[in-house]
Amino acid sequence: MTQPSPFGNLLREIILAGAMIGILVLGLWAHTGSMPPLVVVESSSMIHDIDGEVGSIDAGDLILVRDSSFESIVTFAEGSDSTDSSFGYEMHGMAGDVIIYQKNGDTGTPIIHRAILRVEASQTLTPDRTANEEDNNTKHCPNGGTWDSNSIDQDGELGTCILTWNVPGTNVTDQERITIHFDGVNAGHYDCKRMAHANVEPFLVVWDWQPKHAGIMTLGDNNQCSVDQGGLAVNGSSGVHSESGVAGPVRSDWLIGVAGGEIPWLGSVKLMVSGTGTNDNGEVSPGTQYVPESSFFYLITIIVGILLIPLVLERMLKRVIENSPEAHQIKLEQEEFDHSSEE
């Protein structure tokens, strides 16, 4: 009988491993509805504990990306408002959903931050439909308002001039500018985890904000109330930037998905392989800089466990088989056969 060649064995193992990975990816795709179904967390902007914890989002975690509609996203404001139907809804340690989106719809590393509030159009005016797409706000909205190319106007067409705003989950309705104190009285309590001084409050304050357009304000749980939409929304915020500038409120077409389940620690392998440096979009990749030290311990434990478990199971299975009645009977028959052969 011809023995299989070492190359044949290697090829078979590679095909088997590839098939298993393919089945896993397809299963995750079917479960989440997104492709890719997982993202690796690179930064510390969402951590709740410097040592890392299961349940919150740490650097080095893998996060399942759920394909959810923009309208179904629950914001912190809604999840922390006792009069809202979504009151009590939490994901990853706090009220509201965590979303994954592209800054201003541009290419680059996606942001994974919490949805804080949703700004919606209240009163609108029909824009000047003769204006070109690249024209400024005054051209589109000669009678006032903020030009929003993605919102539906009262005439049923895409694009409108927004005069006033609503923020679900708060008392802001039909307001030209948005001011909200997340102090637990006027809205749900959002702790900034910072010292209060001068004009800096210990809770989140959105102050006199006129949004660029309708959408969702976002914030990293560990960013001490420095919202992604910058200082025009919340004093002192640095914002997140793309080639188009500071991120505006997240639109539906910027949304990649909603953060689902967490697979802790395993994403650290990808960060170790990619290392630090600058990616193709000019963004700095931090590598494992923000990965909690405990994550490496748990990762090594998992790897050692994966290597040892098959060996332990093989030894246990071998012992079970050797001690089985069938094995004992075979041994007796073999001894009888050997004895008769000697005679």
pTM score of the predicted model? 0.81
Tens-digit pLDDT profile for residues 70-101: 999 999 999 999 999 999 999 999 999 999 99
Segment 158-168 mean pLDDT? 97
Please state the domain extents for the chain: 1-30, 33-122+164-297
Paired tokens of 240:
């997140």
Q: What is the structure's pLDDT at 73?
A: 98
Tens-digit pLDDT profile for residues 269-317: 888 888 777 766 667 778 888 888 888 888 888 888 888 887 788 888 8
Tens-digit pLDDT profile for residues 101-137: 999 999 888 999 999 999 999 999 999 999 998 999 9
197 three-state secondary structure: strand
Q: Which amino acid is at 338?
A: D
Determine the Cα–Cα distance for residues 84 and 228; give it in Å rounded to an integer.
25
| Whether 45 contacts 113, CB under 8 Å | yes
- Give ∠ CA 238-58-80 in degrees, rounded to 5: 70
Q: What is the structure's pLDDT at 31?
A: 60
Q: Is the pLDDT of residue 34 over 70?
A: no
Per-residue confidence band for 39, with pLDDT thresholds at 50, 70 and 90:
confident
Segment 215-242 mean pLDDT? 96
Determine the Cα–Cα distance for residues 332 and 325; give it in Å rounded to an integer.
11
H helix intervals, the chain: 6-32, 76-79, 137-140, 268-274, 293-322, 325-342
| Whether 218 contacts 227, CB under 8 Å | yes
Paired tokens of 164:
């006033």
Give percent of the chain with pLDDT exceeding 70.
88
b/e 319-337 (16+ beta carbons within 10 angstroms → b): eeeeeeeeeeeeeeeeeee
Between these two residues, 246 and 294, which has the higher pLDDT value?
Answer: 246
Determine the Cα–Cα distance for residues 146 and 210; give it in Å rounded to an integer.
9
Paired tokens of 338:
């050997």
Determine the Cα–Cα distance for residues 82 and 85; give it in Å rounded to an integer.
8
CB atoms closer than 10 angstroms to residue 105: 15
Q: What is the structure's pLDDT at 170?
A: 96
| Whether 291 contacts 272, CB under 8 Å | no
Q: Is the pLDDT of residue 239 over 90?
A: yes
Contacts of 241 (CB under 8 A, 6+ apart): 103, 247
